[in-house]
Amino acid sequence: MPSVRLDKLRKTFGNVAAVRNISIEFPEGRITSVLGPSGCGKTTTLNLIAGFLDPDSGAISFGDQIVADPARGIAVPSNRRNLGMVFQSYALWPHLSIGENVAYGLKMRKVPRAERNLAIRRALQRVRLETHIDRFPHELSGGQQQRVALARAIAYSPHILLFDEPLSNLDAQLREEMRLELKEIHRAIGVTAIYVTHDQAEAMSLSDTIVVMGEGEVLQVGTPRQLYEEPADVNVARFIGKTNVLEATLVDRQQDFARVMVRGIDGALRCRTSKSTPTDASGMLSIRPEAVRLRPSRVESIGMHGRLSSVVYLGSTAQFQVVLADGRTLEAQQATANSLQIGDEVGIEIDPERCYFIAGRSGPPRPAQ
């Protein structure tokens, strides 16, 4: 199984740069998710890998074979890249039966009939639809159609599997089931898989490595835990889970923790940060809502205070909004044990484990939506 390497890839449409100079290596035999909001360039990246688009510059290689490199005049057409792909819209051919849909890639590879039938059966067994071989796509439910699309993509055992938001047309429960099934099938066949999605839960549960993209660039590559706990970029912190972002300056470090000064708050806050962050660096402090602990204001020992402006009951937890003295708001999330109400004065404690200081990127923080 080859890895997939993108090298300084660039693609513009008219004046708009959809993908700017990205370099990523998708490790062989793993599922790697590409995550980002719509318009971040993730689908363009996938289309470049599939060969539906040609890059303006840069190179794409599968293992040691270069499949696209305009500088060297290489542009292997899609049909000769030996890829499998699962589309959001399923894209099953309506005039062919399930069996014929799955058979198509094998026919294109001139696989002999006996072997072909075996491969079709095996692929359909993997998605538990072997009894539907003679049905037609419109006779199947959405989930079944998506499973056939998967069977079609793996039937001819491609080296690389591409997924273009394959589950976003399914309802929530089905999506979760399909996620598990996908992961299991991948474990069995072990191809290099690239999974494009805008759903962070999907990316986190499916893959060991996630590539977060924004505005045509790679913001961070890492494990789900790294992305959540040590975001390299404010936008990553914002996109992966909720967060409060405050301007801050690093004061000093003590072992694993750093101390930062936040404008408008008396005293330094403790937080974590990357080992390479220099002292005096200015940047952003990301405080996860679950790091914000609210206390009835009577507790004297706490320096930060605010007034509750909204309480949303969510069952096991509740969401709070606290207005600080200077008008900024903090979001908090915690168990619903205490009985805080709108208008209450509260003391605020911050859990340093769930705060992370991101150097650079100064300037006013953009409001989280």
Interacting residues toward other proteins by CB under 8 A: 50-52, 77-80, 82-85, 87-89, 91-95, 104-106, 108-111, 115, 119, 136-138, 149, 152-153, 156-159, 162, 188-190
Residue 203 half-sphere exposure toward CB, CA atoms < 13 A: 30
Nearest distance, CB of residue 155 and other proteins, angstroms: 9
Closer of 76 and 323 to other proteins (Cβ):
76
On whether the CB atoms of residues 91 and 164 are closer than 8 A, the answer is no
Task: Tell me the pairing of strands 31-35 and 209-214.
Answer: parallel
Residues 6+ apart with CB under 8 A from 69: 58, 59, 60
How is 258-309 classified by DSSP, letter by letter? EEEEETTSSS-EEEEE-TTPPTT-EEEEEE-GGGEEEEETT-TT--EEEEEE
Among positive and negative, which fits the CA dihedral 293, 294, 296, 298?
Answer: positive
Distance CA 28, CA 41 (A): 22
Closer of 187 and 275 to other proteins (Cβ):
187
Residue 113 has a CB neighbour count (10 Å cut-off) of: 10
Distance CA 90, CA 170 (A): 11
Closer of 122 and 242 to other proteins (Cβ):
122
Closer of 83 and 269 to other proteins (Cβ):
83
Residue 200 half-sphere exposure toward CB, CA atoms < 13 A: 16
- Compute CA distances 258 → 150, 254, 363, whole Å: 47, 6, 21
Closer of 68 and 153 to other proteins (Cβ):
153
Nearest distance, CB of residue 218 and other proteins, angstroms: 24
Closer of 106 and 258 to other proteins (Cβ):
106
